Structure 1
């Protein structure tokens, strides 16, 4: 077991953890009890060994808590050719950031960058706000062990502890949720006037301010999607609903599991999406500014897909070929004519 934990931590350190390996690492941590002294000593020993070669990666504080900071280099998936067709998802590679809770034993956490979190009060309840910057993805583990992956330029507000008969969070942007099942305590995700109610479910929600639609996609379980308290859709595994800002159901359809949170796998898949919304997505993901001077293409709907690691220039060239426009570029500044 010691060698296996060492391997998983090395994978984490190098940002090479697959989704399955990440789940296995969390499993070792969550299943450990405070009385499980041998396991705690084993993990501490491995951390101490890693610290000798990488002092910035981990350390043990004065309270005996194991502290894990994220590596500086972000993960870049293998390069792949651009294609206008759907791309088969590779191994689930993600960049892990945020606070990781170790149930009943200790906490493993990274130091957040300055300005990446804030605490405030709403309705008498203290809420914490975590957010990702442009071109950044962040992992969060909530007080109930629900796992959340934030996409670029997104935020999530949640209490330090869920109390009462429901769990409520507020999302702005895009995130994938793996909700921890809790009998009698529905998990409610608020995105403006739209709320998504789940129990034990895995789903992706895209609700960036200013975009034309809110999209909810389900990979496991069942959810109720509401607007102003009225049910808009009931979704199960492999279903998706898109609503415009007026609450009208734009589209409800079946969706492959690999497409529910394709962004986590480095795939950028757009199915009949508005051109300006796609451009806004690229601005967030690559942290660039893109001007659309050709007004005729703004209302177009595009279906295409490409790998994130193809880069912003190739992604825009693909869109320009599809729309018959031209691309002009400067220092992180692009114009579509």
Structure 2
């Protein structure tokens, strides 16, 4: 990177000399060489093809400073073109350097199964299979922002000083102050649906506020026109998708924990291994945390448990 910075300084010096008609032909040759280095071989050849009248670095003769060539209008126009191209290369390289130095700040989760995601602010999300969520590794600044393509159930930690924004498909933004809500926003669909289970949210689209929703309110927005309808609804019925496949009747404990292992990205251990074969009858609505689920299962089969990072251990009493 130091090489690029040094080259930029030298190029700026040479350009300043040229603009004052004080550049020696050898300096012009060096300036052209730096332009070539900045743009790469392909860009340089493309530039020469369109400006054949300009001198090539290897072909530039050593001439006195005051020559008709330098003072000719034709050459001056050519040099202005060089300055323009050089400036573009300068911007391009500096943007490239800053981009490559900048660490990746976004985590993108695309779920194959319903997946539980814990955000940096302790908010949680259950992402429906096939959906995608993008969010920063850390929330900084005044806003907490995520991007959703698909469907997810949000439990947002309250923070009046830092509103939580969900950017859905087709320019729709949902502002949350601390609540539980369901957002269905698949890319390509004609309608986005937001249902609030508790708290309050504001829905915006087409540069205007479409609605402010409270518990058991739902809004459906046309993604093309931003026309919308609102209605009162039982939010618990809307989020039934969270509990699909979570009704168990006489199922081996391991078959149940296998499902939650995928959802929470954890590994279950049974001590002794025979615990895995105990049949369990239970049901969950899908909004529970890992601890709440493990609490319930441990009570049913009368065992103790521990959670260490991504490992959950059931131990016989």
Which TM bucket (shorter chain)?
0.3 to 0.5
Greater per-residue helix proportion: 2
Q: Which has the higher strand share?
A: 1
TM-score using structure 2 length: 0.43
Q: TM-score, normalised by structure 1?
A: 0.41
